[in-house]
Structure 1
């Protein structure tokens, strides 16, 4: 059934004069007759009694109207839904753990406060899984920590970040060569942007790095490092602000090495860029660059 067929049906149910309905709609009588016949054929029911030039709603037609009118009106409303609110929708987004835990909560809050008809379907995944989901069109937007290039991926810079080396041992040197550190390394799991950046930046030194433990969550890593002075980790500076200020964790700068990186927005190159999508992307860029 088409909305046009249903529209003719409801018009005729209120006014059996085909000529008058045709004039009101600005179409021919034959167009209305053909549409009604098509509707009746699809339902395998006669909805009108043909009395002269009138189409009189019969008992089956009255029953059909009673059961369908509310759904028809709801469908008609949906024709106008995007005309009345171009910034309504449900955005599927995933962020890597650094971004999700320490940057995005306030951004989600402020965007939803400004655009009340928007909903977020939020996931926290490592950067590799986010890229995979974007390429499979399971996500609208991804926020990642790794620099990746793919022919089907659009990547835009969000902001700068830096990984730092920290320990809870306040007597640890403030600066050291990587191969002189004897503490136990506690790192993120394979696939995380944090670990990938760290290992890539280490280059040849990564071959001799002995990783004591790998964990999925920053808070788990911080708990281990805080409770054990013989441990050390590489973690985003964004995740350590409070611990550094409270002097519970202490940075060790590595000689001749730095772990500066960029955070990125990614989305599929074939993603439709409607007003809602573009507004959200620009909102993210603005918030990250302040």
Structure 2
């Protein structure tokens, strides 16, 4: 069934005079008759009794109208939804844990507060999985910590970050070489952007690390390091800002390494650049730059 066929049907429900309906709609009588016949064929039911030039609604037609008219109005309204409010829709977004936990919450909240017809489907997963989902077009936007290139993905820089080395041991020297740190390393899991940047930057020096535990979440890592002075971790500066200010954790500056990194916005190169998509990306950039 087409909306045009249904439109003619409901018009004739109110006015059985085909000639008058045709004049009102500025179309031929035969166009209306063909549309109604097509509708009846699709339903395998006769909806009108033919009385001269009139199409009079019969009992099956009245039943059909009763069951369908509210749905027809809803569909007509749906056709106009984006004309009434261009900034409406649901976006699928995934962010790596650092970005999701420490940067995005207020941005999500403020954007949704401003645009009432927008919904977010949000995931917090590691950068490797985000890349896979963007390539499979299962996400509209990915927010990651990993520097990479792929022919099917558009990547844009969002934010400058830094990994720092922290311990709860207030007496440990505040500057050190990576090779001389004699503590148990608590690191993120394989596949996380934080871990990959740290390990890749260290190169061959990784062999000298005492990697004691690998965990999925920053909060768990922070708790272990704060509760055990013989432990140490590499973590995003934004993730431990409060703990450093409260002197629960202490930064150890490395003499031979820096762990600067960038956060990236990624999306599939074939992603449609609709108004909602473009507005959110612009909003995100303005908040983070």
Partner residue in 2 for 1:16 = 16
Offset, 1:273? 0.7
Partner residue in 2 for 1:25 = 25
CA distance in 1, matches of 2:252, 2:210: 18
Q: CA RMSD for the aligned pairs?
A: 0.7
Partner residue in 2 for 1:239 = 239
For the pair 1:280 / 2:280, whether they are aligned, the reply is yes
Could you report, residue by residue, the CA deviation over 1:213-261 in whole angstroms, capped at 9, with x for unpaired residues? 0000000000000000000000000001111001111111111210000
Could you report, residue by residue, the CA deviation over 1:83-142 in whole angstroms, capped at 9, with x for unpaired residues? 101101111111111011111110011101110111111110001111111111111111
Query: SS of the counterpart of 1:201?
Result: helix
For the pair 1:103 / 2:103, whether they are aligned, the reply is yes
Offset, 1:182? 1.0
For the pair 1:127 / 2:121, whether they are aligned, the reply is no
Query: SS of the counterpart of 1:206?
Result: helix
Offset, 1:148? 1.3
Partner residue in 2 for 1:85 = 85
Could you report, residue by residue, the CA deviation over 1:47-71 in whole angstroms, capped at 9, with x for unpaired residues? 0011111111111101100111100
Note if contact 2:183-2:210 (Cα within 8 Å) is conserved in structure 1: no
Query: Is the deviation greater in 273-282 or in 17-26?
Result: 17-26
Partner residue in 2 for 1:181 = 181
Structure 1: where are the runs of 5+ without partners?
Answer: none
Partner residue in 2 for 1:264 = 264
Partner residue in 1 for 2:253 = 253
Offset, 1:207? 2.8
Q: How many residues are aligned here?
A: 289
Partner residue in 2 for 1:39 = 39
Partner residue in 1 for 2:202 = 202
CA distance in 2, matches of 1:78, 1:245: 52
Offset, 1:206? 1.6
CA distance in 1, matches of 2:62, 2:143: 54
Note if contact 2:186-2:232 (Cα within 8 Å) is conserved in structure 1: yes
Note if contact 2:178-2:256 (Cα within 8 Å) is conserved in structure 1: no
CA distance in 1, matches of 2:205, 2:41: 76
Query: Is the deviation greater in 205-214 or in 215-224?
Result: 205-214
CA distance in 2, matches of 1:152, 1:207: 35
Offset, 1:202? 0.7
Could you report, residue by residue, the CA deviation over 1:143-164 in whole angstroms, capped at 9, with x for unpaired residues? 1001111111111100100000
Note if contact 2:163-2:259 (Cα within 8 Å) is conserved in structure 1: yes
Partner residue in 2 for 1:168 = 168
Offset, 1:264? 0.5
CA distance in 2, matches of 1:27, 1:201: 73
Offset, 1:209? 2.2
Query: SS of the counterpart of 2:195?
Result: helix
Offset, 1:208? 2.7
CA distance in 1, matches of 2:30, 2:203: 78
Q: TM-score, normalization: structure 2?
A: 0.99
CA distance in 1, matches of 2:77, 2:157: 39
Q: TM-score, normalization: structure 1?
A: 0.98
Offset, 1:281? 0.3
